[in-house]
Amino acid sequence: MSKFIKKIKIKKPDDWHVHLRDNKILKKVIKYTGKFYKRALIMPNLNSPITNCIKSIAYRSRILKSMHLNYEFQPLMTCYLTKFTVPQELEVGFSKKIFIAAKFYPYSSTTNSKKGIKKISDIASVLECMEKIGMPLLIHGEEINKNIDIYDREAKFIETTLDPLRNKFPKLKIVLEHITTKESVEYVKKNDFNYLSATITPHHLMLNRNDMFYGGIRPYLYCLPILKKNTHQIALREAISNGDKHFFLGSDTAPHLNKNKINVLGCAGIFNAPSSLLSYVQIFEEMNALKHLESFCSENGPKFYNMPINKETVTIIKKPFKIKKKIKVGRDVIIPFLSGETLNWSIKN
Ligand code: DOR
Ligand code: ZN
């Protein structure tokens, strides 16, 4: 049925997981998120992380200054939790809408996470406060320990950290970010979606770990959590195809300069802002589930965050759309996800 659909109109989507970085990278990448999304939740893991209200206000204004958009676009900010975070900072930040949520990076789990959390007990008072004020906690859900296999980190995190955390703070609103496994799908689904939801990226829906090694190692497909087995990819695709309200759009677009991707210690992250929305459309189409596209892209997220659903709409049409091969940044480049490839859908201007 859906292969005959040529045009889709949905409320304008929001991206609930975006890395914009800063300075020259920010200036180059912002327009891609701004083109497709009305709002974006901005991750705080800069080289100097956004750990308080003052830094957040300054970062937000740098984002706004870097935009030359024809569209109305709203960056929503998050606070990076460290063992020094005090509840008052979050209380003030959340009540003044300086922060929409706070992010928990386990120590050494990903890009700029060296100021992340080693022991969850270090932020117990902060979590208690967040539960009380209804401020969402965003989690990079991987248990980091060199004895845990990289492919098991997410499932292990649920068992060792997330489940005890939820028992201790049952009314804390949590987003398990960029889930990659069937264990996560199952765990999230069995909880009330007002208290536990999850974002899913386009790359984890489109790819599995085989793709990362197809014909050679492909650093541009290296991200964290790492791509998993095909059985997990299928579980993610099924989760969104059923229109389940626990899941919503968070692209985890994460630009890195080429020199930092192609390196002996290559950075994790996939820059998918130019293609994310159209990739999701393609995936829903492949799953014969276009009727659930709008709730995933434009409704489930705002409902979780208690924000209004956008009034504007976008029209997506069946027309080939070519992704740029590279984006120049000074003397370097950023290579986007699906670089040089053509997607089946475009945005109608
Ligand atoms: O692949 C990733 N890149 N995963 C993350 O969790 C962080 C992100 C980044 O900031 O580069
Ligand atoms: Zn991320």
Q: Parallel, antiparallel, or unpaired for β 332-334 and 327-329?
A: antiparallel
> Which atom belonging to ligand 1 lies closest to the Cα atom of 267?
11
**Nearest-ligand number for the alpha carbon of 256:** 1
Indicate the top mutation candidate among 110, 115, 176, 178 to test ligand 1's pocket, ranked by most ligand atoms within 8 A of CB.
110
Centre of ligand 1 to C-alpha 311, Å, is 31
On whether the CB atoms of residues 275 and 255 are closer than 8 A, the answer is no
Residue 202: give the domain boundaries.
Answer: 12-315
The CA angle 167-169-171, to the nearest 5 degrees, is 110
d(CA 274, CA 259): 20
d(CA 17, CA 129): 23
| pLDDT digit string, tens, across residues 129-146 | 999 999 999 999 999 999
Give residue 4's pLDDT band: very low, low, confident or very high (50, 70, 90). confident
Residues 6+ apart with CB under 8 A from 263: none
- Going by C-alpha positions, the residue among 71, 68, 226 that lies closest to residue 150 is 226
Residue 19 beta carbon below 6 angstroms from any ligand 1 atom? yes
| pLDDT digit string, tens, across residues 209-221 | 999 999 999 999 9
Q: Whose CA is nearest to atom 11 of ligand 1?
A: 269
Hey, CA dihedral for 128, 130, 131, 133, is it positive or negative? positive
Is this prediction's pTM over 0.85?
Answer: yes
| pLDDT digit string, tens, across residues 37-55 | 999 999 999 999 999 999 9
Give the whole-number percent of the chain exceeding pLDDT 70: 98
Q: What is the structure's pLDDT at 166?
A: 98
Binding residue positions for Zn(2+): 17, 19, 103, 140, 178, 252
Residue 42 beta carbon below 6 angstroms from any ligand 1 atom? no
The verdict on residue 6 lying in a domain is no
The verdict on residue 5 lying in a domain is no
Phi, psi of 292 (to 5 degrees): -100, 5
d(CA 280, CA 326): 21
Does the structure show a pLDDT above 60 at 1? no
Does the structure show a pLDDT above 70 at 69? no
The verdict on residue 207 lying in a domain is yes
| pLDDT digit string, tens, across residues 337-348 | 999 999 999 999
The verdict on residue 327 lying in a domain is no
Indicate the top mutation candidate among 111, 114, 140, 154 to test ligand 1's pocket, ranked by most ligand atoms within 8 A of CB.
111
Cβ < 5 A residues, ion ligand 2 = 252
Q: What is the structure's pLDDT at 68?
A: 78
**Nearest-ligand number for the alpha carbon of 250:** 2
Residue 254 beta carbon below 6 angstroms from any ligand 1 atom? yes
Give the whole-number percent of the chain exceeding pLDDT 90: 97
Q: What is the structure's pLDDT at 236?
A: 98
Number of residues written out for the chain? 349
d(CA 275, CA 338): 7
Centre of ligand 2 to C-alpha 1, Å, is 35
Mean pLDDT of the chain: 97
d(CA 332, CA 299): 37
**Nearest-ligand number for the alpha carbon of 112:** 1
Average pLDDT over residues 19-25: 98
Q: Whose CA is nearest to atom 10 of ligand 1?
A: 111
- Is 200 strand, coil or helix? strand
Helices (DSSP H) in 207-273: which residue ranges? 209-212, 230-241, 258-261
Centre of ligand 2 to C-alpha 209, Å, is 19
Binding residue positions: 17, 19-21, 45, 103, 140, 178, 224, 252, 256, 268
Centre of ligand 1 to C-alpha 74, Å, is 22
Does the structure show a pLDDT above 90 at 329? yes
| pLDDT digit string, tens, across residues 262-288 | 999 999 999 999 999 999 999 999 999
Neighbours of 25 (CB within 10 A): 21
Indicate the top mutation candidate among 179, 212, 252, 334 to test ligand 1's pocket, ranked by most ligand atoms within 8 A of CB.
252
Q: For residue 253, what is the DSSP state? A: B
Give residue 3's pLDDT band: very low, low, confident or very high (50, 70, 90). low
| pLDDT digit string, tens, across residues 94-133 | 999 999 999 999 999 999 999 999 999 999 999 999 999 9
The verdict on residue 305 lying in a domain is yes
One-letter amino acid at 344 equals N
What's the token pair of residue 161? 């950290």
Give residue 72's pLDDT band: very low, low, confident or very high (50, 70, 90). confident
The verdict on residue 322 lying in a domain is no
> Which atom belonging to ligand 1 lies closest to the Cα atom of 43?
10
How many domains does the chain contain in total?
Answer: 1
> Which atom belonging to ligand 1 lies closest to the Cα atom of 178?
6
| pLDDT digit string, tens, across residues 154-211 | 999 999 999 999 999 999 999 999 999 999 999 999 999 999 999 999 999 999 999 9
- Going by C-alpha positions, the residue among 117, 73, 79, 75 that lies closest to residue 95 is 79
Catalytic residues, which ones? 252
Q: Whose CA is nearest to atom 4 of ligand 1?
A: 224
What's the token pair of residue 2? 């859906």
CATH of residue 278: 3.20.20.140
**Nearest-ligand number for the alpha carbon of 219:** 1
Does the structure show a pLDDT above 80 at 70? no
The verdict on residue 321 lying in a domain is no
Average pLDDT over residues 65-75: 84
